[in-house]
Each structure stands twice: as structure tokens, then as C-alpha cells.
Amino acid sequence: MGEKAAPNGEIYTMPTFVKRPTLSVYDYIIVGSGSAGSVLAARLTEDKSNKVLLIEAGASDRNIFIQMPAGLGIPLMKDRYNWKFFAEIEHFTDSTEGPYTPRGRVLGGSSSINGMNWVRGNRADYDHWSDCGLTNWSYAHCLPYFKRSENCGHGDSAYRGKNGPTNVIKAEASNPLFQAFIQASNEYGLALNNDHNGASQIGVHKTQRNVANGIRHSASQAYLYDQPDKPNLEILLETRCTAIEFSGADAVKVHLNRRGENFSIEVAGELILSAGAIQSPQLLMLAGIGDANMLADTEISVRQHMPGVGSNLQDHPAWCFDYGVTNSHDSLASKLSYFGRLKIGMEWLLAKRGLGISNHFEVGAFLCLTENETIPDVQMECIAMKGDFAPEGITIEPGYQCFTSLQRPTSRGKLWIESADPTKAPKFQFNYLSTHYDQDITIAAIKATREIFQQPAWNGRLTPELSGVHQLKSNQDIMQWAYAHIESNYHPCGTCRMGTDDEAVTDEAGKVHGFNNLRVVDASIIPSIPAGNLNAITIMIAEKIADSLLGLPALEAEYPKHN
Ligand SMILES: Cc1cc2nc3c(=O)[nH]c(=O)nc-3n(C[C@H](O)[C@H](O)[C@H](O)COP(=O)(O)OP(=O)(O)OC[C@H]3O[C@@H](n4cnc5c(N)ncnc54)[C@H](O)[C@@H]3O)c2cc1C
């Protein structure tokens, strides 16, 4: 066990990594160390009598480009850290490939390769969950857990946590192109919102990011490393859970494969699947928990017919608006020459300062485009360069990009398996834009984005949008462009949703219906996708269910006054 300094200056012992579990039975076994799994491991081991095993298919996250926020494109490119899933091709396109769906395959999961935008969603999202029967998931019930998860130096303490594990800071957004976006949004009619994770979400904002002392504050960094030693937690890396063994309604064992070697470990208490929205439902299906018709096409015998497993797949569909810049010095790309990168790297290594601490997304906006005035239909996230973060490599050029995504899509996709082989990726299809609301709001979102980029604040700084969307006149042409350019915003969720109805997979504490000690706790259990990126939201979900697992009373609901 090594020692290291946590961001608060205290010296903590490194978490205990093992090559083989030291016990044959654990109180809690957690499969997957991502946003949810890392939180659960940390919270469940706060009770020193619990013996917890955290199993992660991926490798260690101790890599300089995972830790340096500006290096985010590099781990994303690597098979070592990214599962690199592809969804099935959407019905409306003649593309030969479905939407690219990266997922973290490393300690910290997707929180170790994501964009570090810290967003909580809208209060109405959680009140809707509550209205659908999940009465303990209203905004008032979730707020104390959002606050417990974060250490935020700004914002009203009625809304913001001041002592939690994840450090949240606000971007400076000093680049003239970011300043122009804020001003252009004002000219369009969006006011500057100083805290989109506070009382109101709407408006243009400087982004907030989970970074501590210049380092990515992934769930693993915040909850596993930057915490006091946890001798009752063992972490098993590069180990894949391949099967679950049952005795009646009890999960009793997990079957594991580590570097080709098979073995199994018993669970005395709860088995928690935190393998993410693509792989938690896969693990249930491999165990015979899923739609009986679908399982009939594999060699898997049905343990429990549950058509809800894998249905209800949701995501935020997105479009990238690409602009060139008239003065290349405005773009971040001008600072990324060989020597530029060397300078950024040295400044980051020596002082944890400079461009290295930025996640590049420094401004954004939430817009209402329907008659409601408080629940955003659309999010915009901007970056002051033209970057293509394709699975096979990164290209960076001078330019400016705005990612516009739908926040309340009503389309639902599904996920299924075609093989009993746990190493075969599951199949999934997002089924984007399959409802009238999604189609109408797509056209409105594209028009709103164009309007913002036509405001005087840009003052000749940008060249015309490169894919020609500004020239399109009819709604039909805009829709064709939308179909051709649609992307995932990397927020799959909802594939094992919580609920009380027949299609729901888990109860409101993530316990799989019909089983005594089997839980799913990750983005899979989200019933309807909130308006915002999912890392902070998944962390909140795990924080809240951890209390339930520990048998602790839930934190008291909070009702701050809001405008
Ligand atoms: C490229 C990218 C950018 C993103 N940007 C942002 C952003 O800026 N802000 C934001 O809020 N959200 C962002 N997200 C989304 C957010 O990070 C995820 O929604 C969130 O981390 C999901 O958490 P999770 O716990 O559900 O799953 P994950 O964090 O994905 O964790 C699942 C873990 O389970 C492991 N696993 C899977 N199967 C097995 C198995 N059989 N055995 C053992 N281990 C297994 C995986 O390797 C992984 O580590 C982004 C995501 C990606 C991929």
C-alpha cells in the first residue's frame, strides 16, 4: 500500500488493489467501478464491519492523460480505456455504421474518460420521477444527495454542497470566442445564469467541471483515492464478471475471468450491478432475466421473464455545428502545436495550471423552446476548436464547435443480446427522433442554434457553418440534415428502469423485482432521462441508494425557495 496526498493536503493510503480476492465471501460485491460503483464502494465501506469487493473489467486509471483534464481525447481513443460500442444503424439513415457509443473501461468507468461537465438536470425531472410513483425521488429528496456529493466553491449553499468528495469549479471562459458566445446568447434573449446547477437551469453559462487541483476528479479519484484508507475494500482490476449464480431468488456467486483465469466468489449480502447502461442489462440477460422471447433465440434458459430489461433505452441525441474562425489565434487549436502542447504539459505537470486544467468545454446554454419556461428542451456545449474525437484517432483544427442536444427526448430504444457469450457486445438501437415531439423540437433546436450564431456579437469572427445547415430553408431540408448528422451525446440510460409498474426492472432502491439481494445501481435505473449530462446524476443516485443499502434513514428532503 502506497501513500499519497489528497487534494485537501491530508495523506491517505492508496486503495487496496488485489490480484485475487483475499476472502471467498464478501458482504457486498459491486460489479463495475464507474460513476455509481466507485461511490457505492466508498459509502458501503464507511461501515467498517462490511467487507466489500469492487470488480472492474478495465485497468488502472493512473494515466497522465486521464488525470490531465485537457488530455481527455487521448484515453478516449484507446481500446484499453474505452469499450467503443456502436449502436445499431438508425432506420432513417443509409449510413453504414450506427452511432458511436464510447464507455469507460477503466477504474472510474466513464467518469475517467468523460468530458467532466458537471450538470445536475432540472428539478422537474425528479419531480416527474416522483409523480410516476417513485415518491422518494422528487427534487426535494434528491437535492441533499447532490449536495452531499460535491465540494463546490461557488453558489448558494441552499443548492450547492460545500464538503462533499467531488470538487466542482467554474470555467473561466476567457477565450474571445467563449465571450462572443455568451454575448450572442444575450443578444438572442438568453440571460447569463451564474449557477445552472442552482435555483434555475435556464440561460447561458460558464460551465462547471469536476476538477480538483488541476486533476480530473473522476468518481474513482474523488471517492476511492482522495478518501481515508478503507481496509475493508478490495479492488479487483482487469476482471470481468461473466455470470451470476443463484439459489432460488438469491444471488449467491459471481463468476469472474481475470486475464483468462476463471474463478468465482460468494456474496453473503447484496450483489450490485454497476456495469453501466449497456452492460448491467446484459449481465441480467446472461443470467436469464429478460424478455423470454428474446432469450429463446439464445441458449440461455429463462430465470425470470422481464421484458423491461433492455427496453426504455434513452439518450440525448446531438448535432455538432462546425464553424471556421477568421483569426486562427482565437481558436484553441492555435495553442496546440507540438511546442504548444509541450508548454501546456509542462505547466500542468509542474504547477497544475494553464490550459491543461481545462476540459475545453467552457461555455454552454440551456434553452426552453416550447411554452414552458423553466424546463430546458435543448442544451448547447461549446469548444473553441474543431475537434474530431473519432474512435480511431483525434484531429484538431482551428474553429469553433457547438454541440446542440435534445434534453427531453420522448423516443425510446432498446438493448438486447444475441449470444450467451459474455464477451460479445450487446446490441442496441436508440430509435432517435421517432416521435413528433422529438422531430419538431429538433427543427426548433437547429433554428435556435443558427440564430445564436447569426448575432452581431460574433462580429465576423466565424466563417459560415461548414456543413451548410445555415443555408437550409424548409423544415423538411433541416430534418434531412438532422437525420444525416445525428450523434449520441454519450448518455445512454434507462435500460433497467426503477418503477412500480409491470415493465419496471427495479424498485426505488435499485433492487431487481423478484430477487432478494440483486441490485442494479447505475445510469440503467434512470426512469426518464434528465436534462443534463449524466455523471453528477448517476453519482447522486448511488449516494442515495448507498444510504438505503446501509439501512440509514434518508437525508431529509430540502425545499429551498426558487424563482
Ligand atoms: C466520452 C464520454 C463523455 C461524457 N461526458 C460527460 C460529461 O462531460 N459530463 C457528464 O456528466 N457525463 C458525461 N458522460 C456520461 C457519464 O460519464 C456517464 O453517463 C456515467 O459515467 C455513467 O456511469 P455508470 O456508473 O452508469 O457507468 P460507467 O461509469 O460507464 O461504469 C461502468 C463500469 O462497469 C465496468 N464493467 C462493465 N461490464 C463489466 C463486467 N462484466 N465486469 C466488470 N466490470 C464491468 C466498465 O468497465 C465501467 O468501468 C460522458 C460519457 C462518455 C463516455
DSSP type of residue 24: S
Instruction: Kindly state if the Cβ of 491 falls inside 6 Å of ligand 1.
Output: yes
DSSP type of residue 61: -
Instruction: Kindly state if the Cβ of 190 falls inside 6 Å of ligand 1.
Output: no
Among the options 217, 491, 513, 562, which is catalytic? 491
pLDDT tens digits, 291-306 = 999 999 998 999 999 9
pLDDT tens digits, 461-512 = 999 999 999 999 999 999 999 999 999 999 999 999 999 999 999 999 999 9
Whole-angstrom Cα distance, residue 352 to residue 208? 18
pLDDT at 15: 86
Q: Collect all residues with Cβ–Cβ distance below 8 Å to 489 and sequence separation of at least 6.
A: 315, 316, 317, 318, 403, 405, 533
pLDDT greater than 90 at residue 282: yes
Kindly report which listed range (109-118, 224-233, 398-407, 444-453) carries the lowest average pLDDT score: 224-233
Whole-angstrom Cα distance, residue 104 to residue 23? 28
pLDDT tens digits, 128-166 = 999 999 999 999 999 999 999 999 999 999 999 999 999
Q: What is the mean pLDDT of residues 421-434?
A: 98
pTM: 0.97
pLDDT tens digits, 544-562 = 999 999 999 999 999 997 6
**H or E stretch at 16:** strand 16-18
pLDDT at 389: 85
pLDDT at 563: 47
Kindly report which listed range (140-144, 387-391, 406-410) carries the lowest average pLDDT score: 387-391
CA–centroid distance, residue 146 to ligand 1 (Å) = 18
pLDDT at 409: 97
Query: Which atom of ligand 1 lies closest to the CA of 240?
Result: 42
Asked about 491 being catalytic, the answer comes back as yes
Whole-angstrom Cα distance, residue 486 to residue 134? 32
CA–centroid distance, residue 219 to ligand 1 (Å) = 10
Instruction: Kindly state if the Cβ of 358 falls inside 6 Å of ligand 1.
Output: no
Mean pLDDT of the chain: 95
pLDDT tens digits, 103-127 = 999 999 999 999 999 999 999 999 9
Q: Is 91 exposed, middle or buried (CB count within 10 Å of its CB: 0-12, 13-18, 19+)?
A: exposed
> Best of 66, 110, 280, 379 to mutate for ligand 1, by most ligand atoms within 8 A of CB?
110
pLDDT at 8: 58
With cut-offs at 50, 70 and 90, classify the pLDDT of residue 265.
very high
pLDDT at 95: 87
Smallest CA-to-CA distance from 459 within 177, 65, 162, 127 is with 177
Comparing 563 with 226, the larger pLDDT belongs to: 226
Per the CB < 8 A criterion, the answer to whether 256 and 242 are in contact is yes
